[in-house]
A and B are shown apart, each in its own frame.
Chain A
């Protein structure tokens, strides 16, 4: 049973990852990533990591994907850019790099003896065990992530707020008003001169 679930989830994960990379429409890519995330959560459940699998679905599929879909909808058809003007040698090099990574890792992994998986108790992978590790051994990493998330939130607000008009000092405002006043005076002076030119007799 577990073997069937593993191969099904692995197949779905790889197919959906290919969809993410190959689709032209970013909306379809995002939906492919959603399938990839759920398949990976299934694989994590097979590895007895219930809490990480749940967090994967809630945080990634819930929060991050909603953000992605929102921005893709905001950008609209401008986001649709295919591989386009990539030169053939660039495509070949990229695929060769990917294949090299795969062959290297697969060769190492299948020629190494990892031994038997260690035995685990019922608490393994639950929120209790993971949470305890977080607040004891990995407290610094935990706090670091919270600081980074806060910085990212501030950065997102600043980037999303866009370019606002520059704030001027009082002197700059007065200078601008003075320029405008001078322009108005010049314009009315020019108008009066023109009127005098048009009817010289009446003006004298």
Chain B
């Protein structure tokens, strides 16, 4: 490690916040999914940084598991987007309110 752990954790926090703002503000489900990926990746960086600090492989294993879950999540999310497109629905998360109370 040429620079200390706090640098990596700070970068990770900034990326997480950027992704969070994207998820909160964007209405296109595609961009929401992309912002979610930014959040997941920032957490991966945290896990790998702590793994290097502790000196074990546990954090890296966890990061790989997160990658697998992210792949599954993207498959379902993009499948929903394709299904919405086929049904001629508007690709806008604000318009999807038929299940709201």
Q: Chain A: residues with CB nearer than 8 A to chain B?
A: 1-3, 5-6, 10, 13-14, 17-18, 20-21, 23, 26, 29-30, 32-33, 36-37, 40, 43-44, 46-49, 51-52, 55-56, 59-60, 63-64, 67-68, 71-72, 74-75, 78-86, 90-91, 93-95, 97-99, 101-102, 105-106, 109-110, 112, 114, 117-120, 124-125, 129-130, 132-134, 137-138, 141-142, 145, 148-149, 151-153, 155-156, 158-160, 162-163
Contact = CB atoms under 8 A, between A and B. Distances in A.
B82 A74 contact: yes
9 contacts: A48-B52, A68-B33, A84-B27, A93-B24, A106-B13, A110-B10, A117-B53, A120-B52, A134-B61
Given A37-B41, A94-B25, A130-B60, A152 B76 contact: yes
Contacts of A130: 57, 60-61, 64
Query: Interface SS of chain A: helix, strand, loop or mixed?
Result: helix
Nearest to A27: B30
Please classify the interface of chain B as helix (H, G, I), strand (E, B), loop, or mixed, using the class held by over half of its residues.
helix
Interface residues of B, number: 74
B68 to A, nearest CB: 4
Interface string B49-72: 101111101101101110111111
Contact of B51 (A49, A106, A159): A49
Contacts of B11: 10, 13-14, 43
Interface of B: 1-22, 24-28, 30-31, 33-35, 37-38, 41, 44-45, 48-49, 51-55, 57-58, 60-61, 63-65, 67-76, 78-83, 85-87, 90-92, 94
Contacts, number: 260
A14 B82 contact: no
Most buried by A among B6, B15, B31, B41: B31
Given A49-B48, A81-B26, A109-B13, 15 more contacts: A3-B2, A17-B14, A21-B22, A51-B60, A52-B44, A55-B64, A75-B85, A84-B27, A97-B24, A101-B13, A101-B16, A105-B10, A106-B10, A148-B68, A149-B71
